[in-house]
């Protein structure tokens, strides 16, 4: 995944998560607020309406009583309102000048505002001193919201307010008398009868039910949002095989951990753990069984981790692990234990595990530069761990490898080669060197091997050992093989045209190339395009290529020979089923590996092996070439035993084409050889 795509998908994930978590919550909160406001408004309207209707009749009654008192006296008021009517007349200082009934007006305590009713005149409203169910404030009478609080029902004897099942709430109304000196204050009779109570109860119940629905909806949505979020998380972060964390979770969570604990005291390591025999295991058993094993491996890894550590499956049989590594010895002991425990996952089969480790040292990166907290890149560390792990490839035994400066340099080198390979090919930076092959008996030139060199515009002169293995891994080797065949054919054609004594030149063709079905035809076409005769081109195959599809190999070799190309087996004796290959493959040339001629040929035994191999090749009708021969004694020995050609420093090192031309031109003396003054 490219970095851009990675961040894109992360953003999307965050968006999905957010929308699941907050959309439900937010809409519920908005909905609840709206409904609450609506309910309060409804309640307010209902109460206002009730109070309003009570008030208007009471105003009229008290105003009328005041007028009666002024015009006809207290007796007339009593006649109108009965003896239980309560009122008092006060002077400007508030001192009562006349009282009728039990006065509980609390005008001493409250400075009441005027109630503004257009035709009510200057009526003041006072709460009752014994009961505070009504509040008088800011020109308004309202039902006290703390209705049910004990403090507000300070009624000494509630019975006096309940008459005939009707609750009577007193409020006092003062009407200024025309003398301007006195105020008539009459007790209103706010009666709440059953209809009013029913009305209020119905409204309150509706409101309560609505509120309840709202709260339930809110909670339900909250739970749903939570469940959805968990579902999304498990979909995105769970590994479908192990049911544990996947790579994305490891990366996000791992970086969080690293950033949070980023300081000198904490050292972490990122691991790549690979179950080496996974593919083989799946082939022998089943993919399902293989997955089962992966699940067990995941569990085992997790069981070895403590808090603040993390694992996640990367892909296939690779697990990424983040571990504390404060103490190197203790950490390595833990890794050994981990390998030991992992091997116990299967008691029947011997499983192998490779662990690659990259230490994350706080603050300093591999280049010695300060790492900023935000620059911590766990993916890069994991890649480093993988690079370390890859060095264990080819060995099925369990083991561990640590990413270090050397590996880092190697990675950098591989990267540099990748970056330049195509341009180098297009700019013809690859140069063909020729290493002559001589007949040791006559010291005459019999052939040559084409060997590649890279004359890089910025990296300088590079020997093949530094880049051929990289090309073999990244597949670019097939381009190189074509390039070499084309250039050798071109050179041979040019030399022929110049009248040189051309000898066959062998070209290395990589193992990766040999799986192509039409390889023989590809080679034929390239050589034909350059106009070189086929018998001047020989194809060298390394022994390791012979392990693959033998039938296909035989077909390709036969086809090449059919087109007139000789085929040789390179490095014979360096691998292990050489003899078997000889049995099956119809080759023309056997190249004895240079290893045969290292040291002193290990005495008699070494000499026996070499002489008998030459005899074997002769019996199979193959020519022999001895590679890596550096000393005179070896040349003499090989000549004595009938070796056809020698390719080694004794005669010549690989050389540029111009130098090789001289070798073709010069007649070779009988005693040729570099150590003999040639
Ligand atoms: P190789 O095919 O076995 O080539 C022989 C190697 O042995 C050459 O190394 C050659 O320089 C070296 N050599 C020959 N005689 C002596 C000797 O007396 N003493 C010592 N010490 N070395 C000797 P070179 O050129 O460095 O190539 C190394 C390998 O790179 C080759 O081994 C071959 O596997 C690969 N290679 C080189 N050129 C090509 C190419 O064009 N295509 C492919 N596919 N591989 C190539
Ligand atoms: Ca070779
Ligand atoms: Ca060789």
- 571 CB near ligand 1 (under 6 Å): yes
Identify any residues that bridge with 665 across adjacent strands, giving them in sequence order: none
- Of residues 518 and 74, more confidence is placed in 518
Torsion angle, alpha carbons of 123, 129, 130, 135, to 10: 60
Same domain (yes/no): 178, 261: no
Ligand 1: does its nearest atom lie under 6 Å from the Cβ of 464?
yes
> Helix 550-562 to helix 519-530 angle, to the nearest 10 degrees?
30
Q: What is the mean pLDDT of residues 12-22?
A: 61
Look up residue 475 and give its DSSP letter. S
Question: Is the dihedral angle over the CA atoms 367, 373, 379, 384 positive or is it negative?
Answer: positive
Q: Does residue 417 lie in a domain region?
A: no
Which DSSP helix (H) or strand (E) runs through 278?
helix 278-284
Q: Is 543 in the pocket of ligand 1 (CB under 6 A)?
A: no
Mutate to test the pocket of ligand 1, among 434, 464, 481, 512 (most ligand atoms within 8 A of CB): 464
In ligand 1, which atom is closest to the CA atom of 463? Answer: 26
Q: Looking at ligand 1, which atom is closest to the CA of residue 654?
A: 11
Residue at 360 is within a domain: yes
Best substitution site from 433, 449, 468 to test ligand 1's pocket, by max atoms within 8 Å of Cβ? 468
Spell out where 297-416 has E strands.
310-315, 318-324, 353-360, 399-402
pLDDT given for residue 365 in this prediction = 63
> Cα dihedral angle (604, 605, 610, 611), rounded to 10 degrees?
60
Over 80: is that where the pLDDT of 516 sits? yes
Query: Both tokens of residue 174?
Result: 């003062």
3-state secondary structure of 390: helix
- Residue 208: what pLDDT? 83
pLDDT at 24: 62
Question: Which ligand sits closest to the CA of 571?
Answer: 3
Residues 81 and 183 in one domain: yes
Tell me the HSE value of 7 on the side-chain side, using a 13 A CA sphere: 3
- With bands split at pLDDT 50, 70 and 90, how would you rate the model's confidence at 20? low
The Å distance, Cα 449 to ligand 2 centre, comes to 7
Q: Please state the three-class secondary structure of 393-440 as a single string.
A: CCCCCCEEEECCHHHHHHHHHHHHHHHHHHHHHHCCCEEEEEEEEEEC
| 628 close to ligand 1 (CB < 6 Angstrom) | yes
**What span, in angstroms and rounded, lies between the C-alpha atoms of 105 and 490?**
125
Q: Which residue has the higher pLDDT, 366 or 360?
A: 360
Query: Quick one: pLDDT at residue 183?
Result: 87
The tokens of 260 are what? 């949070």
The residue-averaged pLDDT of 246-271 equals: 88
Residue 468's pLDDT is: 94
Q: Is residue 88 in contact with ligand 1, taking CB distance under 6 Å? A: no
477 lines ligand 1 (CB under 6 A): yes
C-beta 463 within 6 A of ligand 1: yes
Mean pLDDT throughout 354-379?
Answer: 78
| Same-domain pairing of 28 and 77 | yes
For residue 469 and ligand 1, the question of a CB distance below 6 A is answered with no
On whether both 303 and 437 belong to a single domain, the answer is: no
Q: Is the CB of 630 under 6 A from ligand 1?
A: yes
Cβ within 8 Å of residue 542, ≥6 positions away: 508, 510, 511, 570, 571
The reported pLDDT for the residue numbered 12 is: 63
Distance (Å) from CA 426 to ligand 3 centroid: 27
Ion ligand 2 neighbours (CB, 5 A) are: 508, 540, 570
Q: Among 574, 569, 566, 562, which Cα is nearest to 585's?
A: 569
Alpha carbon distances (Å) from 204 to 8, 45, 209: 52, 12, 9
363 and 476 part of one domain: no
Q: Which of 491, 498, 483 is nearest to 434 (CA)?
A: 491
Contact 538, 577 (CB under 8 A): no
> Is 64 a domain residue?
yes
94: which residues sit within 8 A by CB, 6+ positions away? 107, 108
| Paired tokens of 276 | 């080496």
Task: Give, using CA atoms, the residue closest to atom 27 of ligand 1.
Answer: 464
CA–centroid distance for 323 within its chain: 17
Going by pLDDT thresholds of 50, 70 and 90, the confidence category of residue 638 is very high
Q: What domain count does the chain have? A: 3
436 CB near ligand 1 (under 6 Å): no
**What's the CA-to-centroid distance between 593 and ligand 2, angstroms?**
10
> What digits encode the pLDDT tens for the residues 571-587?
998 866 568 788 888 99
> Ligand 1: distance of its center to the CA of 666 in Å?
25
- Ligand 1 within 6 A of CB of 538: no
- Where residue 146 falls among pLDDT bands split at 50, 70, 90? low
Answer whether 435's CB lies under 8 Å from 655's CB: yes
**Pocket flag, ligand 1, residue 648 (CB < 6 Å):** yes
Q: What is the pLDDT of residue 676?
A: 36
pLDDT at 59: 80
Instruction: Please name the residue whose Cα sits nearest to atom 19 of ligand 1.
Output: 628
pLDDT tens column, 287-330: 999 999 999 999 999 999 999 899 999 999 999 999 999 899 99
Ligand nearest to the CA of 654: 1
User: 312 to each of 105, 153, 248, 294, how far by Cα in Å?
Assistant: 79, 67, 8, 11
Relative to the CA of 484, which ligand 1 atom is closest? 41
Range of lowest pLDDT (641-645, 650-654, 667-671): 667-671
Q: Does 57 or 607 have the greater pLDDT score?
A: 607
Collapse the DSSP code of 371 into the 3-class scheme (helix H, G, I; strand E, B; otherwise coil) and give the result. Answer: coil
Q: Are 58 and 114 contained in the same domain?
A: yes
Q: Is the CA virtual torsion 318, 319, 324, 329 positive or negative? A: negative
Same domain, 184 and 251: no
**pLDDT tens for each residue of 189-215:** 766 666 766 777 787 788 788 888 888
* Residue 590's CATH number: 3.20.20.450
Q: What are 395's two structure tokens?
A: 């060995």
Alpha carbon of 32 to ligand 3 centroid (Å):
83
573 lines ligand 1 (CB under 6 A): no
User: In the structure, what pLDDT confidence band is assigned to residue 167 with cuts at 50, 70 and 90?
Assistant: low
**Is a pLDDT exceeding 50 seen at residue 109?**
no
| % of the chain with per-residue pLDDT over 90 | 47
Whether the CB of 539 sits within 6 Å of ligand 1: no
Residue 531's pLDDT is 97
Q: Is the pLDDT of residue 369 over 80?
A: no
Give the distance (Å) from ligand 1 centre to CA of residue 497: 28
Asked whether residue 439 falls in the same domain as residue 389, the answer is no
- Model confidence at 182, pLDDT cuts 50, 70, 90, reads confident
Query: Which residue has 């029947």 as its token pair?
Result: 348
Distance 547 CA to ligand 2 centre (A): 17
Q: Is there a domain that residue 213 lies in?
A: no
> What's phi and psi for 402, nearest 5 deg?
-110, 135
Q: Both 166 and 30 in a single domain?
A: yes
Ligand 1 pocket, 478 CB below 6 A?
no
- Return the HEC string of 112-158: CCECCCCCCCCCEEEEECCCCCEEEECCEEEECCCCCCHHHCCCCCH
pLDDT for residue 91 = 85
Q: Is the dihedral of CA 437, 439, 440, 445 positive or negative?
A: negative
- Calculate the dihedral angle through the C-alpha atoms of 359, 362, 367, 368, rounding to the nearest 10 degrees: -130
Return the SS3 of 625.
strand
Closest ligand 1 atom to 472 CA:
44
231, part of any domain: no
What is the 598 CA–ligand 1 centroid distance (Å)?
A: 15
Q: What is the pLDDT of residue 528?
A: 98
Q: What is the DSSP letter of 513?
A: G
Q: Report the half-sphere exposure of 269 (CA within 13 A, side-chain side).
A: 27
C-alpha distance across the termini of the chain, in Å: 59
**CATH number, residue 308:** 3.30.70.270
For every residue of 213-242, DSSP letters joined together read HHHHHHHHHHHHHHHHHHHHHHHHHB-TTT
For residue 477, give the ligand 1 atom closest to its CA.
Answer: 44
Ligand 3 centroid to residue 483 C-alpha, Å: 19
Exposure string (b/e) for 587-604, b if CB count within 10 Å is 16 or more? bbbbbbbbebbeeebeee
How far apart, in whole angstroms, are the C-alpha atoms of residue 628 and residue 596? 8
Average of per-residue pLDDT across 225-246: 87
pLDDT at 357 over 60: yes
Q: In this model, does residue 664 exceed pLDDT 70? A: yes
Are residues 468 and 502 part of one domain? yes
Q: End of a domain among 335, 369, 403? A: 403
Per-residue pLDDT for 187 more than 70? yes
DSSP 3-state assignment of 442? coil
**Tokens (6 digits) for 20:** 């699941």
Supply the residue whose CA is at minimum distance from atom 3 of ligand 1: 571
Which is the closest atom of ligand 1 to the Cα of 450? 41
Reported pTM: 0.62
What is the per-residue burial (b if ≥16 Cβ within 10 Å, else e) of 198-213? eebeebeeebeeeeee
* Residue 188 included in any domain: yes
pLDDT in tens, 456-469: 999 999 999 999 99
pLDDT of residue 118: 47
Of 205, 236, 270, the last residue of a domain is 205
Separation of CA 451 and ligand 1 centre (Å): 6
The reply to whether 505 and 572 lie within a common domain is: yes
DSSP-assigned states of every residue in 13-49: HHHHHHIIIIIHHHHHHHHHHHHHHHHHHHHHHHHHH
Mutation choice for ligand 1 from 451, 570, 601, CB with most ligand atoms inside 8 A: 451
Does position 45 have pLDDT exceeding 70, yes or no?
yes
Mean pLDDT value across residues 382-397: 92
Interval 214-234 mean pLDDT: 83
Name 8's Cβ contacts closer than 8 Å, sequence gap at least 6: none
Nearest CA to ligand 1 atom 10: 654
User: Can you tell me the distance from the alpha carbon of 358 to that of 381, in angstroms, rounded to the nearest whole number?
Assistant: 6
Residues 191 and 61 sit within 8 Å (Cβ to Cβ): no
Residues 398 and 456 in one domain: no
Give the residue-averaged pLDDT of 396-416: 91
Q: What are phi and psi of 496, to 5 degrees?
A: -60, -45
- Give the angle 558-564-566 at the CA atoms, nearest 5°: 70
Other C-beta atoms closer than 10 Å to the C-beta of 672 total 22
How far is the C-alpha of 603 from the C-alpha of 108, rounded, in Å?
A: 132
| Average of per-residue pLDDT across 531-543 | 92
Which range, 156-160, 363-367, 453-457, 596-600, is most confident?
453-457
Q: Which of 369, 403, 437 is the last residue of a domain?
A: 403
- Return the structure tokens found at 140: 């308004």
Q: Is residue 58 part of a domain?
A: yes
Q: What is the average pLDDT score of the chain?
A: 84
Say what percent of the chain tops pLDDT 70. 80
- The finding on whether 452 has its CB within 6 A of some atom of ligand 1 is yes
**How many Å lie between the centroid of ligand 3 and the Cα of residue 591?**
7
**Binding site membership of 510 for ligand 1 (Cβ less than 6 Å):** yes
Q: Which residues contact 597 (CB under 8 A, 6 or more apart)?
A: 626, 627, 628, 629, 630, 634, 648
Residue 169 lies in a domain: yes
Lowest mean pLDDT among 296-310, 317-331, 505-519, 557-571: 505-519
Decide: 322 and 257 in contact? Cβ < 8 Å.
yes
Q: Which ligand is nearest to the CA of 628?
A: 1
Give the ligand at the shortest distance from the Cα of 650: 1
Q: Which two tokens stand for residue 431?
A: 């140069």
Average pLDDT of span 185-189: 82
- Give one word for 597, left, alpha or beta, with left for phi > 0 and alpha for psi -120 to 50: alpha
Q: What is the pLDDT of residue 233?
A: 79
Question: Using a 6 Å cutoff on CB, does residue 649 contact ligand 1?
Answer: yes
Domain range holding 182?
A: 16-205
Is residue 570 within 8 Å of 601, Cβ to Cβ? no
């Amino acid at each position: 995944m490219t970095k851009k795509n990675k961040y894109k998908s992360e953003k999307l994930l965050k968006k999905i998560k957010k929308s699941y978590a907050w959309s439900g919550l937010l809409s519920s909160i908005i909905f609840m607020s709206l409904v609450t406001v609506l309910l309060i408004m409804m309640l307010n309207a209902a109460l206002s309406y009730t109070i309003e209707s009570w008030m208007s009749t009471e105003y009229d009654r008290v105003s009328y009583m005041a007028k009666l008192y002024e015009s006809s006296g207290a007796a007339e008021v009593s006649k109108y309102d009965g003896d239980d009517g309560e009122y008092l007349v006060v002077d400007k200082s508030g001192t009562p000048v006349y009282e009728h009934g039990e006065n509980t007006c609390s005008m001493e305590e409250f400075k009441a505002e005027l109630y503004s009713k257009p035709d009510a005149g200057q009526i003041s409203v006072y709460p009752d001193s014994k009961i505070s169910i009504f509040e008088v404030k800011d020109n308004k009478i309202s039902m006290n919201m703390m209705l049910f609080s004990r403090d507000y029902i300070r009624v000494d004897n509630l019975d006096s307010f309940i008459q005939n099942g009707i609750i009577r709430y007193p409020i006092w109304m003062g009407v200024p008398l025309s003398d301007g000196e006195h105020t008539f204050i009459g007790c209103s009779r706010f009666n709440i009868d059953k209809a009013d109570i029913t009305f209020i109860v119905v409204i309150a119940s509706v409101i309560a039910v609505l509120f309840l629905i709202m709260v339930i909806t809110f909670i339900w949505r909250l739970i749903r949002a939570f469940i959805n979020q968990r579902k999304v998380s498990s979909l995105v972060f769970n590994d479908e095989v192990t049911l544990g964390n996947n790579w994305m979770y490891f990366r996000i969570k791992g970086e969080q951990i690293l950033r949070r604990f980023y300081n000198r005291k904490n050292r972490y390591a990122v691991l790549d753990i690979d179950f080496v025999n996974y593919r083989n295991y799946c082939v022998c058993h089943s993919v399902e069984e293989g997955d089962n094993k992966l699940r067990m491996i995941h569990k085992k890894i997790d069981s070895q981790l403590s808090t603040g550590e993390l694992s996640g499956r990367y892909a296939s049989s690779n697990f990424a692990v983040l571990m504390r590594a404060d103490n190197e010895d203790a950490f390595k002991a833990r890794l050994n234990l981990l390998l030991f425990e992992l091997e116990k996952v299967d008691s029947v089969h011997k499983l192998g595990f490779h662990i690659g480790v990259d230490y994350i040292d706080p603050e300093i990166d591999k280049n010695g530069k300060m790492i900023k907290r935000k620059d911590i890149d766990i993916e890069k560390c994991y890649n480093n761990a993988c690079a370390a792990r890859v060095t264990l490839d080819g060995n099925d035994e369990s083991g561990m490898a640590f990413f270090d400066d050397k590996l880092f340099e190697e990675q950098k080198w591989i990267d540099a080669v990748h970056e330049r390979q195509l341009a180098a090919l297009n700019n013809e930076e690859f140069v063909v060197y020729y290493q002559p092959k001589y007949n040791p008996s006559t010291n005459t030139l019999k052939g040559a091997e084409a060997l590649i060199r890279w004359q890089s515009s910025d990296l300088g002169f590079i020997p093949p050992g530094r880049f051929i293995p990289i090309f073999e891994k990244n597949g670019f080797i097939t381009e190189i093989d074509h390039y070499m065949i084309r250039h050798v054919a071109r050179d041979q054609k040019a030399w022929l045209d110049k009248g040189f004594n051309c000898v066959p030149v062998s070209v290395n063709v990589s193992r990766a190339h040999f799986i192509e079905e039409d390889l023989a035809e590809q080679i034929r076409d390239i050589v034909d395009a350059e106009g070189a005769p086929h018998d001047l081109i020989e194809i060298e195959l390394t022994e390791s290529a012979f392990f693959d599809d033998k039938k296909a190999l035989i077909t390709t070799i036969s086809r090449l020979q059919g087109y007139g190309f000789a085929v040789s087996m390179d490095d014979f004796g360096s691998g292990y089923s050489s003899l078997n290959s000889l049995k099956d493959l119809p080759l023309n040339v056997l190249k004895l590996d240079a290893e045969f001629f290292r040291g002193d040929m290990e005495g008699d035994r070494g000499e026996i092996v070499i002489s008998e191999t030459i005899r074997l090749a002769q019996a199979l009708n193959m020519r022999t070439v001895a590679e890596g021969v550096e000393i005179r004694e070896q040349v003499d020995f090989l000549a004595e035993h009938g070796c056809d050609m020698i390719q080694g420093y004794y005669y010549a090192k690989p050389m540029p084409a111009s130098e090789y031309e001289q070798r073709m031109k010069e007649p070779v003396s009988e005693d040729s050889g570099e150590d003999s003054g040639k």
